[in-house]
Amino acid sequence: MDEQVKKSKKRQNPREHANLFTVLTFLYTLPLFLLGNTRDINESDLYETFTGHKASILGKKSQILWQEELDNAIAQKRKPSLLKVLVKILGWDFLLIGIAVGCENFVAQPCKALFLGGLIGHYAKKDSSGFPSYLYSLGIIVSTLFCCLIVQPYLMASYHMGLKMRVVCSSLIYNKILKLSPSSIRKSTPGYIINLLSGDINAFERVGGLLHMLWIGPLQAILFLYLAWTKIGVSSTFGIGFMVMFIPVYVLLGSILKRYRLKVSTRRDERIRLTNELIQGINVIKMYAWEKPFAEIISTFRKLEVDSMMKSTYLKGLFTFNEILIATSIFITIISSVLLNDAFEATAVFITMNLFFSLGLTVTTFFPLSIAVLAEFRVSLKRISAFLQSQEIDFHTKSEDSESAVAITSGFAKWDENGNRNTLTDINIHIKKNSLTALIGAVGCGKSSLFQVIQGELPLSIGLLCVNGSLSCAPQEAWIFSASIRQNILFGSEMDEERYMKVIDCCALETDLKLFPHGDQTIVGERGTSLSGGQKARINLARCVYRKAGIYLLDDPLSAVDSRVGKHIFENCIRAFLNEKTVLLATHQLQYLAYVDYVIALDEGAVQMQSSEKELEASKFDLSRYISQNHSASRADSDSMLNPSNVKDPAQVQEARKSGFISIGTYKRYLFASNNLLFVICTVLLFIFAELSISGSIYFIGHW
């Protein structure tokens, strides 16, 4: 893009060449932490993105695999599966995380419990000295260290996997947006797409680690039941059975949570769609003083969304009773052992408690969370898959015409697929290569729609289309994004200094750039708010012309400039710079028809005439009806100069930062954000009571 972007090249990510030990211990991040200890970290201190996480790599791979999945689905007559694409890209990552989770739950945790029991049993004997005590202690240390070296890296790997899933799905969504057909665009509102990118993709963050608990939980329950059985006998089944009994309950709660998750997404889509529409029409709302009624409408939609979110949150809260269930399971086990007159020792009790705490954390915390995550993941995957299967622009309905640059045969098209009225009717045009063709007609006759057909944005319902060559289009409504003028012209293309200067000259931008304080590095506002209409039109034209293409579609580029600038653009840009290119020019400036090769006249979506300029003159065709009624009051912009006061400095605006400690007032405002002192006090007391009850139950068992 811009030279400034190239100059700010970041340092190589230390993760690229980190060995296994530094990866497991995260030592490769130590230099950044040491730097942060000496001074505040700036954006320039950050590293380049890790190669395995780059969107350029993951996005390209996902596009190829998704297209293969679409082709296979069509061949096998089934629905395409986004899950298969994710498995192909991230399958090995998911498998390695599963192996690490299995080692931690099936090896490290049981060994730690058994070593602890062995140490307690050894000291319970009369002769507690000797080598076994050191061996058991070493076993506890090694198993604990093994847990540390396994748990944190696999948690990091699971978050990295969630990040990759976000990158893959975001890339697929962004690429899909560029291919949507007009009917799909009408259905997919900006709010819906934003919700997909911000809300639904967030469900992928915890998938990598928590989904493994769906198979870890049952297998761990069987293993720990066997170990507990060997220590305290049949009474262990009652405690573990009590925990396992809640699994169907959590499965039911997960299905209910899935429905509420879908409700939240739907209501959020509606709220964002409505908000976006209100922002687009804010001028009308302000003019008629409709702020309060529309604010109430948005508040109503927000209340419905919050209501679904609250119910979903309450359901998630039911997944957090792990400590109570664990303590109750231990209590049931010990009571059952007493009632059955089973003799047990302190060693067996401590081993059982340790096993129960590990199993309880999995069965009553991670397993229910995995069900909730799976429910959200399925909903998000379904919504994203539905969007990716939306109708695309059809580029396949083409005829074979090698002599023409653009050819349409018996073409019919309409914007509303269900409507009866055609936008274009029986279009038959053949535009020769390397020719300049003028497209004339009154306002609303279908000129822009014809351009949309050639670009593939408006599909032909009947007829054939042939386009021989790459396209570059300058739309009638100039589109400018918030960046420098050079970035708006290049639009991601490589910088060719000679071609760039020629484009600046032929589009009559040279005088304007000399008046700008920072030349073509001048940063324009959002949608070009600091530019005049003529300047936006010429920058829009320069972007189209700079791109190397075979066919150029210019949709009325002369209407927003005065006659002097218009003549300069027509002579130097359209006729000279694009002399050896195929140009289709839509215009109301009939004085230029004498200099074009061919003329096409449209009226109410139908071609009334197509001939060369000489044939047009000989036929004495009446052109007066094609002169725009608003031509005298056109959008011509005689003020081509930019007001220097509106120009923004090209320097990047630094983010506001503060350093120091967080004030107590911040915590206080956060704590009392609910505006209900009684609610805050009750919540704190409940936390204290819960901790006292859990700690007290463990103390009671130990004392008993």
So what's the pLDDT on residue 616? Answer: 66
Identify the DSSP state of 317.
Answer: H
pLDDT at position 637 over 70: no
Higher pLDDT, 659 or 509: 509
Backbone angles phi, psi at 404, to 5 degrees: -100, 145
**pLDDT tens-digit map of 438-481:** 888 888 788 888 888 888 878 788 888 888 888 898 888 888 88
Does residue 420 share a domain with residue 542?
Answer: yes
Domain membership of residue 30 as a residue range: 1-46
Strands (E), 21-126: none
Does residue 676 share a domain with residue 535?
Answer: no
User: How crowded is residue 538: how many other Cβ atoms within 10 Å of its Cβ?
Assistant: 29
**pLDDT tens-digit map of 381-413:** 888 898 888 887 765 445 555 678 888 888 888
Q: Which residue has the tokens 């505006």?
A: 675
Helix (H) or strand (E) holding 162: helix 131-177
So what's the pLDDT on residue 655? Answer: 57
Residue 496, domain member (yes or no): yes
Mean per-residue pLDDT of the chain = 80
Does residue 500 share a domain with residue 623?
Answer: yes
Amino acid at 273: R
3-state secondary structure string across 578-593: CCCCEEEEECCCHHHH
CATH number at residue 528: 3.40.50.300
Residue 409, domain member (yes or no): yes
CA distances from 621 to 252, 301, 603, 630 (A): 76, 58, 14, 22
Amino acid at 669: R
Q: Which of 582, 602, 628 is the last residue of a domain?
A: 628
User: How crowded is residue 320: how many other Cβ atoms within 10 Å of its Cβ?
Assistant: 12
Q: Which of 628, 646, 678 is the last residue of a domain?
A: 628
Does residue 587 share a domain with residue 451?
Answer: yes
For residue 74, how many C-alpha atoms fall within 13 Å in the half-sphere facing its CB?
A: 6
Assigned token pair, 473: 């289009």
**pLDDT tens-digit map of 131-185:** 677 888 888 888 888 888 888 888 888 888 988 998 999 999 988 888 887 777 7
**pLDDT tens-digit map of 147-161:** 888 888 888 888 889
User: How crowded is residue 656: how many other Cβ atoms within 10 Å of its Cβ?
Assistant: 5
Helix (H) or strand (E) holding 659: none
Provide the pLDDT confidence category of residue 639 given band limits of 50, 70 and 90: very low
Mean pLDDT throughout 507-534? 79
Provide the pLDDT confidence category of residue 654 given band limits of 50, 70 and 90: low
Does residue 677 share a domain with residue 531?
Answer: no
CA distances from 494 to 42, 117, 448, 471 (A): 29, 69, 29, 18
pTM of the entire structure?
Answer: 0.70
- The most confident of the ranges 448-462, 518-532, 667-681 is 448-462
Does residue 610 share a domain with residue 681?
Answer: no
Mean pLDDT throughout 419-434? 84
Does residue 670 share a domain with residue 550?
Answer: no
Provide the pLDDT confidence category of residue 534 given band limits of 50, 70 and 90: confident
Percentage of the chain beyond pLDDT 70 is 86
**pLDDT tens-digit map of 491-504:** 888 888 899 999 99
So what's the pLDDT on residue 313? Answer: 82
**pLDDT tens-digit map of 593-632:** 888 888 888 888 888 888 776 666 666 666 655 554 444 3
Residue 635, domain member (yes or no): no
Does residue 681 share a domain with residue 620?
Answer: no
Strand partners, 439: 586, 600
**pLDDT tens-digit map of 78-128:** 888 888 999 999 989 899 988 988 888 888 888 888 888 888 777 767 665
CA distances from 90 to 96, 174, 212, 405 (A): 10, 20, 14, 44
Helix (H, G, I), strand (E, B) or coil at 183: helix
Q: Which of 46, 63, 79 is the last residue of a domain?
A: 46
The b/e string for 350-386 (b: 16+ C-beta within 10 A; e otherwise) is: bbbbbbbbbbbbbbbbbbbbbbbbbbbbebbbebbbe
So what's the pLDDT on residue 420? Answer: 76
User: In angstroms, what is the C-alpha Rg of the chain?
Assistant: 35
Does residue 668 share a domain with residue 522?
Answer: no
Euclidean distance between CA atoms 608 and 605, whole angstroms: 9
CA-wise closest residue to 121 among 343, 348, 344, 337: 348
pLDDT at position 585 over 70: yes
Q: Which residue has the tokens 């930062």?
A: 657
Residue 543, domain member (yes or no): yes
The b/e string for 98-128 (b: 16+ C-beta within 10 A; e otherwise) is: bebbbebbeebbbbbbbbbbbbbbbeeeeee
* Torsion of the alpha carbons at 595, 599, 602 and 607, rounded to the nearest 10: 180
Does residue 607 share a domain with residue 560?
Answer: yes
Domain count, the chain: 3
Does residue 529 share a domain with residue 446?
Answer: yes
Backbone angles phi, psi at 411, to 5 degrees: -90, 130
- Give all strands of the β-sheet with 436-440 in edge-to-edge order: 471-474, 551-555, 582-586, 436-440, 598-603, 606-612
Euclidean distance between CA atoms 452 and 665, whole angstroms: 58
Does residue 676 share a domain with residue 607?
Answer: no
pLDDT at position 3 over 50: no
Residue 519, domain member (yes or no): yes
Residue 570, domain member (yes or no): yes
